[in-house]
Chains A and B, each alone.
Chain A
Amino acid sequence: MNDIKHDDMDCTQQNKTQLLSLALWTLAWVASTALLRFGAEYIWDYHPAYSISALITHLALGFAMIMVNVKHLANLDELQRKITMDAMGITLGVGLIAGIAYEQLEDIKLITFEPEISHLIMIMGITYILSILIGNGKYK
């Protein structure tokens, strides 16, 4: 057998490490979102100084999460990047189309409640996960 050079950390291991890092930063951002929303109501009674601190922390963690995601994308191999970028494109399109249509529903009196941004985020999340699964299935 011809020898082949092995790296200490292969591509899959690197991706797992980066995914864990991305998951942790995302978790921190989600926690900061909860703190911002519920902290003001239940912990510091809408004190502006604490709310501003929580908002700055939330934005800083969000920015860090974006940068980790950019780094993660840059380290993916070309097929993985294609699958991820395709999923992101589909999610953006679905988010835009569904978001505008959903927003119109109340205006044209098809729904009686005010559209919630959280519903749109859930649709985008589900779309992204499905797109990734379909993309991975396509190139299995």
Chain B
Amino acid sequence: MKNRLKVLRAERDWTQADLANALQVSRQTANAIEKGKFDPSLPLAFKIARLFNLTVEDIFIDDEKT
């Protein structure tokens, strides 16, 4: 699943380690989600959305819709 995490993170000048720490996941997991290699669970997706004050749909793009 594609996402806008890299852009959102860059806008805030956060490193992947900062993001991983805020989400309480490993840097490997933050990196895998950002690269679209791993789809987060619904609770983690909502946690990411809350962190950026956005909705899940604002961050994650449904591949089947594109």
Q: What residues of chain A have their CB less than 8 Å away from a CB belonging to chain B?
A: 1-2, 4-7, 10-12, 15, 77-80, 82, 136, 138-140
A70–chain B nearest beta-carbon distance, Å: 19
**Also in contact, A11 and B20, with CB within 8 A (given A77-B25, A79-B26):** yes
A15 close to B26 (CB less than 8 A): yes
Q: What residues of chain B have their CB less than 8 Å away from a CB belonging to chain A?
A: 12-14, 17-22, 24-29, 31-33, 37-38, 40-41, 44
User: How far, in whole Å, are A136 and B32 apart by their CA atoms in the complex?
Assistant: 10
B29 close to A77 (CB less than 8 A): yes
Q: What number of A-B contacts does a CB cutoff of 8 Å give?
A: 59
Consensus secondary structure, chain B interface: helix
A13–chain B nearest beta-carbon distance, Å: 10
**Also in contact, A77 and B26, with CB within 8 A (given A139-B37, A139-B38):** yes
Q: Which of B12, B24, B29, B32 has the most CB of A within 10 A?
A: B29
